[in-house]
Structure 1
Amino acid sequence: MSNQQNQPRGAKEYVVLIPLQKTAILNIVLIERRRVGDITDKNILHIGSGRNVDFIIYKNSLPVESDNEPSQFSSQFKVFMMDKRTQELNQENRILRFWFHSLEQNQCLYDANELIHALFKSDEFPRDYFSFIKRLMELLRMFTRIRKIELEIQTLDKNALDVDHPIKQYVSRLMLYDNDYLSE
């Protein structure tokens, strides 16, 4: 599943998370491979440790090196999220945009498809926003031919969700399972 891109000896590359835009209904982040020269930069919020020693999270948007090129692949899907505090069901539209190192189009499609399959494994699918982004960072680390991923999350209007939607019953069962699991 993973693949290697040749790097010069001694080069240190990080998987970095850069917030690009955040509003009440829209959140856009960039996850990319980046050489970081100064890990004492005051704009760094967190540097990973242990297994994630190569992760850096920035506080706010940096001047992002502009590609001026469209993404080479994108995938869009909707998820239902339960707000544990309010017990409200929210629907989100999520878009993943991919940029690759120089590859043939078929290889780009293959790698993006493999990453998405790994992301959607039912036993490992992240159940919250933080876990979803962390999983994307882990997968970007594994799929070295993917240069960067932009994640756009838009919370959809609550009125757009049908109150009798079958997902409500599924989410209720899922929340019961989570509560039972936590009480063990």
Structure 2
Amino acid sequence: MSNQQNQPRGAKEYVVLIPLQKTAILNIVLIERRRVSDITDKNILHIGSGRNVDFIIYKNSLPVQSDNEPSQFSSQFKVFMMDKRTQELNQENRILRFWFYSLEQNQCLYDANELLRALFKSDEFPRDYFSFIKRLMELLRMFTRIRKIELEIQTLDKNALDVDHPIKQYVSRLMLYDNDYLSE
């Protein structure tokens, strides 16, 4: 009850995306539940519509409140991404950090595991950066016990990718198939 008293009158809960850091090889964003009362804030880049009406994207990290609390769970994985413009294969290291509302550790682990299972469903796995972040926002909306998620994406050195790596051969076959399909 006291939590509601601290919220501004008329504030509505949104799932917000806040960019924290962006360089040529590193991108960190915060996705969190936040009560927002002023949707005319000049720092808001986009407010969702339709089924994503509860999404807000901020321009920069001004709305971030200092939180030195360590994450309660994290997961790290690597993905291969094809740059459509240059046709280069890049490898990214992605780290997801989770913060929960007050819960016991087993419940936190269960919720994080279920979110990751939903994220990695092969038929729904996001194929690009934008879709990946949007999917995380959708999942945060569904998993109400998760308070926030920080996503860190680091592009790895191109020289670290082995030329004979199986993913390189797989992508080449996919591109060949796509080109054949397009020429029919």
Q: 1:36 to 1:105 in 2, by over 3 A?
A: same
Q: TM-score, normalised by structure 2?
A: 0.90
The CA distance in 1 between the partners of 2:59 and 2:114, in whole Å, is 30
Aligned-residue offset at 1:90 = 0.2
User: Higher mean Cα deviation, 152-161 or 63-72?
Assistant: 63-72
Higher relative contact order (Cα pairs below 8 Å, separated by 6+ residues) = 1
Q: SS of the counterpart of 1:95?
A: strand
Q: 1:129 to 1:106 in 2, by over 3 A?
A: same
The CA distance in 2 between the partners of 1:2 and 1:176, in whole Å, is 60
Q: Which has the larger radius of gyration?
A: 2
Q: Determine the structure 2 residue equivalent to 1:149.
A: 149
Q: Determine the structure 2 residue equivalent to 1:167.
A: 167
Aligned-residue offset at 1:66 = 2.2
Q: 1:176 to 1:107 in 2, by over 3 A?
A: farther
Q: Determine the structure 2 residue equivalent to 1:75.
A: 75
The CA distance in 2 between the partners of 1:176 and 1:6, in whole Å, is 58
Aligned-residue offset at 1:12 = 1.7
The CA distance in 1 between the partners of 2:105 and 2:5, in whole Å, is 17
Q: TM-score, normalised by structure 1?
A: 0.90
Aligned-residue offset at 1:169 = 1.5
- Gaps in structure 1 of 5+ consecutive residues: none
- Gaps in structure 2 of 5+ consecutive residues: none
Q: 1:43 to 1:76 in 2, by over 3 A?
A: same
- Correspondences of 1:64-143 after superposition (within 5 Å): 64-143=64-143
Question: Between the two proteins, what is the percent identity of the paired residues?
Answer: 97
Q: Is the 8 A contact 1:96 1:150 kept in 2?
A: yes
The CA distance in 2 between the partners of 1:165 and 1:3, in whole Å, is 52
**CA displacement, residues 105-164 of structure 1 (integer Å, 9 cap, x when unaligned):** 000000000000000000000000000000000000000000000000000000000000
Aligned length: 184
Aligned-residue offset at 1:62 = 1.7
User: Higher mean Cα deviation, 14-23 or 55-64?
Assistant: 55-64
Aligned-residue offset at 1:179 = 5.6
The CA distance in 2 between the partners of 1:117 and 1:106, in whole Å, is 16
